[in-house]
Structure 1
Amino acid sequence: MTDNRPVLELDDAVARGRALLVARLAIGLYLVELLLNLTRPKVFPDEPALTIFEFPGEELLSGALGGLGSLYDVPRAAFWGVLAGIAVGVVLQVIAARGPSEGRRATVLAWVTLAALLGSFSLFSLFFILKSPLIALACVPTSAFALWLMHRCQWFARLPVPMLLTAFGWGALVQFGLGRACTSLASGTIYGHLGKDMDSELGFQLSDIYRATDLALLHLSVVNQVAGAAGIVLLLMMFRHRVTDVVTGLVLGAATGLGYNFSESVLFIRLWGHVTGQFNGATDGFEYWIRQGAGLFGGQVVCGALLGAGIGLAARTRGRGQRVGIVAASLVAAVGAAVANETLAAWFSKLAHGHVAIGGTLDTLVVSPSLWLAPQVPFIVVVVLLLRSGLRERAAAARQAVTAEAAAGGVIAAREVPFLVDPALRLWTLVSTWRRHGRDAALALHRFQRAQLEVAGWLWQRARADEVPGPEEREGEELRAKALQLRTDIDRLVAS
């Protein structure tokens, strides 16, 4: 290496540059959508330059389908907020280019630029969430429970909770907002091209509306998964020493999809259950049951898990061509899952409801959830198999890491190795400790074992990341100090 700067500092600069590249690509996508909308064929004589100011056919959609036009409607304040964020981001990048490329100033400018460029898209998401605060609050407990399960399922070398919350926030705010912002423009563009040769007296035909809706849904599915992939890549670059295996990406992607599902649930519970319920017979409770109950781990969670698993695997792959192929395959699979969820589920429902009473107990509890999940079954199976394979690899890695820490004379004693690597034995020791020494001693032992596994997981992550000593080394020292303190607490509780 010819540069005199530390390797870690140079890697940070590279990570910042790649993160800014991801943000610029997202902004570029939005500007392309904006340009296509500006240059679309005009259908109506007094049509505005941008269709988001007056959605073509919105009155027809609202009258015929009870407010479906609001599906792609966006607040104008959010639109101007995005443009302002882009302008601020450009100014910040010019300022950063005139200063040193390293140091605290460069780091702060990079992340503030990211916030300006991407954070403004969250205005679209906040618009829907704040418009239905009670629905949003109702979705919090189920989403929190799902996020807790994602954290617990890793059991070894777990991603930190702030990292999962960041992924959830990306999906709920940025991914959802970017998808809606782009699709609101694209839907207007699609209507412009479909309606350019229509008879002004007849207006839009029903077939045109269905075709435009199908194209808009396809566009939304693609943009959503691209935005989700961008968020996963950003997080993996920000926390690159945590990137270990397929499970890392899978859990991170699932958390991103769960965040998207949160905002989507707020929108659709209000739209399908409250606004259009008089036409389709749905209720708020039914939509909540489908999206936050029976289908909580389907839909966007599955799409995000597929994306994350592919990106996590690609991050550990050496060949550039292989990495591109893996990411492309995972993106195609995620888009396919999203499109299948949007189209096949409705088709299955139409076929089945001729034989099942709509709105009955059987339909609500069994038939409708099954039909909604049916197109996702192949993708769910793939995710489960990937998770199972990844957890098996982690079990083997845990044995090696725990044994290595014990051999080095660290916070793990040789006699403790069999208990730490076997969940059944760990549970047995906790129950036995509870019986002999009480609840406090058992809880202290549980915390101590978790701390020991965190030390072993840190060793494994650091070895796979191939990092030089730096902040991660200090993290290991802090974890060991915590484990030693917990050992002291256990000795005191057992002796008393």
Structure 2
Amino acid sequence: MTAVPPATPAPAPLAAFRAAVRDDAVARGRALLVVRLAIALYLLELLLNLVRPHVLPDEPTLSIFQKTPGGGSVGRLLGTPRAVFWTVLAGIAIGALIQGFVLVTRPDERRARALTWATIAVMLGPFGLIPLVVVLEYPAQALACVPGTAFVLWLLHHGQRFSRVPLAMLLVAFGWGALIVFGLGRAASNLAFGTVGGFVGKGGKASLTAQLKNQYRVMDVVVVHLGVVNALLVAAGVVLLLVLFRHRLTDAVTGLVVGAAIGLGYNLVESVLFIRLYGSLSAFNGATGGFEYWIRQSVGLLGGQVAFGALLGAGIGVAAQARRRGERRRAALTALAAASTGAIATEVLSAWLSHVVHDHVDIGSPFDTLIVSPFLWLLPQAPFILVTAVLLVLGTRARAAAARAGVTAETAAGPAVTRQEAPFLIDPALRFWTLAGTWRLHGWNGLRALSRLQAAQLDLAAWRWRHMDDADGPAREEGDALRAKVMRLKARAAAAPAAPATPAAPRPGQAAP
């Protein structure tokens, strides 16, 4: 009979976070490469803005220093605060100096680890000031967006039928979207707005009609630019998180959940800004902050950036599973192209369709607000959302097969998963009714205990499936740790007076025992 390890207190959140993050030299090197590529993208935008033709006589060296008429929300959308810009440059310079110091001194492992994380923080952190300024300046709009955003985060975490993405990974993905994708993407697009405007408007004075045409051309290019840059940054975030976090399964579902969380973070800050912006400009264009909230935080909350982030993440997850380099490249590039073109089509086609349809529909009427406008906004996204749903279904089926194989192998290997428990782990319906019956018999404490035990067993089964043939070295240590966690949870459940020793619950249509 196998001895049960003694129960130990649950680790603190910080300790759990550290345990979930890979901190080896290979992971840090890949993370640093992703950060360098993101910074290189921004520096390229900066260089192009510096060499752009100047259209106005007193135009500043950088277009982001041009004062926008009206300021306020419009300024937040079209400009970058000077303090933030200089902080960004200082962070890039400090990060470069730290990397030079590491290259010259070649410090030991502990110091190299600290310097690597410091480099990533100082290079990327300043971009997060841009969305933080938006959220802090408009707290009422930000608070209004919290309930819907929190619900989608809950759905992403609990909606996975088998091995879940760690909550810490999900929250970091959300933060990447809210802070880095929005901040860096907005900083790059603000530079691109001035760069494109300079090249399009060069050649001296033009008539008023020509100036208006040029502005439309500039906005079209900037929309394309923003869609491509945002997709690149979302892809960078998905890759970074897949590299840094320990997870049992790297597949389409993992990538989909991480990408959706990144898109959700971006959508939160974008919603705050546009709710405020359209609220202040309602007298000119007829749109209101309430309508923007309805579109971005209600009927279309799972569309837009969330849907395109999920599509891109799922494609990267598929690429991570591919064995050949060519297959990985094709899957990743296809997902990147689909996500970027989908975002661009949503902005362009929905506006065009709205212009066509609103000649026959009363703008602002209940029918327009509740039916027509949401339909026109979601229509260009429908093919991409359908593809994402198909990837989710196929990925879930693949996970089910992996869970069956992993549970079967672990059942034969030891007492962490018994033959009585195996059917409940591989059948989501049985697992749900098990939890429901446990709640009726033993309350919330019993429900939480059994839920944690089953989640740990599924993580162990996912590890077993990934390491069927190579469970040695670090992989073996990880498996031993997961198995020990399962046994600790079983020991706690057995020691608790109200907790069930084995899962038991009524099947649908049967009465509870």
What TM-score, normalized by structure 2, do the two folds share? 0.87
Q: How does 1:173-252 map to 2 (within 5 A)?
A: 173-199=179-205, 202=208, 205-239=211-245, 241-252=247-258
Within a 5 Å distance, the mapping from 1:337-416 to structure 2 comes to: 337-416=342-421
Query: What does residue 39 of structure 1 align with?
Result: 51
Q: Which amino acid aligns with 1:386?
A: L
Superposition deviation, residue 360 in structure 1: 1.9
In structure 2, relative to structure 1, the CA distance for the partners of 1:491 and 1:468 (3 Å cut) is farther
| 1:288 is aligned to 2:293 | yes
Q: 1:229 to 1:447 in 2, by over 3 A?
A: closer
Superposed CA offset, 1:194-242 (max 9, x none): 2112426759621111111111111111111111111111111102554
Residue 149 in 1 paired to residue 155 in 2? yes
Is 1:49–2:64 an aligned residue pair? no
Letter in structure 2 aligned against 1:219: H
Deviation at 1:461, TM superposition (A): 4.8
Q: Which runs of 5+ in 2 are unaligned?
A: 1-21, 502-513
CA 1:478–1:105: 2 relative to 1, 3 Å: farther
1:324 maps to which residue? Answer: 329
1:21 aligns with 2:27: no
- 1:161-210 CA deviation, whole Å, 9 max, x = no partner? 01000000000000111111111111101111121124267596211111
CA distance in 1, matches of 2:91, 2:472: 35
Are 1:236 and 1:242, in contact at CA under 8 Å, matched by a contact in 2? no
Task: Report the equivalent of 1:4.
Answer: none
SS at match of 2:193: helix
In the aligned structure 2, how far is the partner of 1:15 from the partner of 1:439? 39
Q: Any idea what SS the aligned residue of 1:121 has? A: helix
- Quick one: which amino acid aligns to residue 324 of structure 1? R
CA–CA distance in structure 2, aligned partners of residues 192 and 464 of structure 1: 59
User: Cα–Cα, structure 1 residues 437 and 76, in superposed 2: closer, same or farther, change >3 Å?
Assistant: closer
Kept after mapping to 1: 8 A contact 2:446/2:498 = no
Distance 1:473 1:136 in 2: 42
Query: Hey, what's the Cα distance between the residues in 2 that align with 1:259 and 1:465?
Result: 37
- Counterpart Cα distance in 2 of 1:17 and 1:303: 28
Distance, in Å, in 1 between the alignment partners of 2:211 and 2:387 is: 40
Matched pairs, number: 480
Query: How much has 1:12 moved relative to structure 2?
Result: 2.6
Question: SS of the counterpart of 1:89?
Answer: helix
Matched, 1:301 2:306: yes
Equivalent-residue separation in structure 1 for 2:472 and 2:319 (angstroms):
18
CA distance in 2, matches of 1:223, 1:95: 31
Structure 1 contact 13–101 (Cα < 8 Å) conserved: no
Q: Unpaired runs of 5+ in structure 1?
A: 1-9
CA RMSD of aligned residues (A): 2.6
For 1:128, give the aligned amino acid.
V
1:485 aligns with 2:497: no
Q: Choose 78-87 or 421-430, whichever is displaced more.
A: 421-430
Q: Given residue 332 of structure 1, which amino acid in structure 2 is its aligned partner?
A: A
The one-character-per-residue Cα deviations of 1:30-86 (angstroms, maximum 9, x if unpaired) are 11111111111111121111111115xx44xx69xx975652211111101110100
1: CA distance, partners of 2:450 / 2:36: 49
| Structure-1 residue corresponding to 2:123 | 117
User: Which deviates more from structure 2 when the two are superposed, residues 261-270 or residues 95-104?
Assistant: 95-104
Q: Relative to structure 1, is the Cα distance of residues 259 and 424 closer, same or farther in structure 2, using a 3 angstrom cutoff?
A: same
CA shift in 2, pair 1:361/1:37, >3 Å: same
Determine the C-alpha separation between the residues in 2 that align with 1:176 and 1:26.
Answer: 13
Counterpart Cα distance in 2 of 1:175 and 1:469: 33
Partner of 1:104: 110
**Distance in 2, Cα, partners of 1:152 & 1:201:** 58
Change (3 A) 1:275 1:482: farther
Query: Residue 364 and residue 475 in structure 1: after superposition, are their counterparts in 2 closer, same or farther (change >3 A)?
Result: farther
CA contact 2:249–2:462 (8 Å) conserved in 1 = no
Instruction: Give the match for residue 11 of structure 2.
Output: none
Question: Equivalent residue for 2:506?
Answer: none
1:253 and 2:259 equivalent? yes
Match of 2:283 among 270, 275, 278: 278
1:161 — aligned with what? Answer: 167
Letter in 2 for 1:72: L
Could you say what secondary structure the match of 2:202 adopts? Answer: coil
What is the aligned counterpart of 1:336 among 325, 338, 341?
Answer: 341
- Letter in structure 2 aligned against 1:94: G
Equivalent position of 2:511 in the other structure? none
Q: Distance in 2 between matches of 1:283 and 1:136?
A: 16
Partner Cα distance (1:188, 1:433) in 2? 61
Identity %: 54
How far apart are the structure 1 equivalents of 2:175 and 2:144?
Answer: 17
Name which of structure 1's ranges 462-471 and 40-49 shifts more when overlaid on structure 2: 462-471
Query: Counterpart of 1:7?
Result: none
Structure 1 residue identity aligned to 2:177: G
In structure 2, the CA distance between the partners of 1:448 and 1:32, relative to structure 1 (3 Å rule), is: closer
Counterpart for residue 6 of structure 1: none
Q: Is the Cα contact below 8 Å between 1:151 and 1:161 reproduced in 2?
A: yes
User: Residue 267 in 1 paired to residue 273 in 2?
Assistant: yes
Query: For residues 152 and 438 of structure 1, what CA distance do their matches in structure 2 show?
Result: 19
Deviation at 1:356, TM superposition (A): 2.0
Q: Which amino acid aligns with 2:350?
A: A
- Structure 2 Cα separation of the partners of residues 37 and 53 of structure 1: 11
What is the one-letter code of the residue matched to 2:337? V
Could you tell me how far 1:460 is from its partner in structure 2? 3.4
